[in-house]
Amino acid sequence: MKKISENLSNIRESLPENVVLVAVSKTKENVEIMEAYDAGQRIFGENKVQELCRKWEALPKDIQWHMIGHLQRNKVKYLAEFVSLIHGVDSVRLLREINKRAAASGRVIDCLLQVHIAEESSKFGLDEQELQEVLNQEFLAGLPNIRVRGLMGMATFTEDEDQVRKEFRYLKSLFDQLPAFLEKADILSMGMSGDYLLAIEEGSNMVRIGSSIFGPRESH
C-alpha cells in the first residue's frame, strides 16, 4: 500500500480548492496521524470522545480536531475546551449542552446540524421540521456560545449512485436556505471515502476521508 503521505497527496489533487479535507483518524495510531501531519494535514476527525481527548493531549496543538461521530450529552464536557468543530449535532438538548460547556470554557464552539438524509434508520440526524425548529432565531439567540456553521449528512450506504446523489442534493437544497436564518452558514459537510467525489459534485465543501488516506480501518 502507498504511504499515507502519498495517499493524502493524491486525494488533495482530486479536491477543488474550496473543499476542506477532514482526515478521519479514528482507530489510527499517533504515528500514522503524524505522518499525515508531516505531509501538511492539520484537520483530523474522530468519532469517540475518549480517543479524541487522548490524541489531543499527545499530538501537536495546531491540529484542528473535529468530532464527527454521534456525541452524547454527558461527553460534551470532555472536549469543550479544545474541539474545533462538532459535526453531528442532532438534537436541541445537545445544542443546549454544548452551549453550556462552551460558556464554562470561555469559548464559542462551531457546530454543524446533522440532517437525516439516508434511508437507513441507523443514521442519526434531524428531520426537516426539527431543523426548522433549531434554526429559530430566538432559540439560537439564547445560545450565545454556539456558532452554527452549516449542515452535515451521511448518505445511504449503497451502490445506487442515483440515490446517493438524490440524498446529497436534498441536503444541499436545505443548506441553500440557511442564509435566511444564519449570519454565517458556510459549511456543507457531506461525502466520505466511497462517495466524496459525488458529494462534491452535489455541492459539498467539506469531506471526511479515512480509509483512502490511512488504509482499511481495524474494527473498533
Query: What pLDDT digit, counting tens, does each position of 165-216 carry?
Result: 999 999 999 999 998 888 889 999 999 999 999 999 999 999 999 999 998 7
Inter-residue contact 69 to 88 (CB < 8 Å): yes
Residues contacting 158, CB < 8 A, separation 6+: 164
Write out the H or E segment, with its range, that includes residue 31. Answer: helix 30-38
Query: What is 4-206's CATH number, 1.10.10.10, 3.20.20.10, 3.40.50.720, 1.10.540.10?
Result: 3.20.20.10
Task: Kindly report the pTM of this predicted structure.
Answer: 0.94
d(C-alpha 108, C-alpha 146), whole Å: 5
Nearest Cα residue to 186 out of 203, 202, 163: 203
Q: What is the pLDDT of residues 40-85, one digit of tens each?
A: 999 999 999 999 999 999 999 999 999 999 999 999 999 999 999 9
Task: Give CA torsion, residues 159, 162, 168, 170, to 10 deg.
Answer: -140
Q: What is the mean pLDDT of residues 14-19?
A: 96
The x, y and z cell numbers of residue 28, run together, are 489510527
Q: Quick one: pLDDT band at residue 122, thresholds 50, 70, 90? A: low
Phi/psi of residue 41, each to 5°?
Answer: -75, 135
Cα separations (Å) of 217 from 13, 14, 28, 29, 182?
Answer: 23, 22, 8, 11, 37
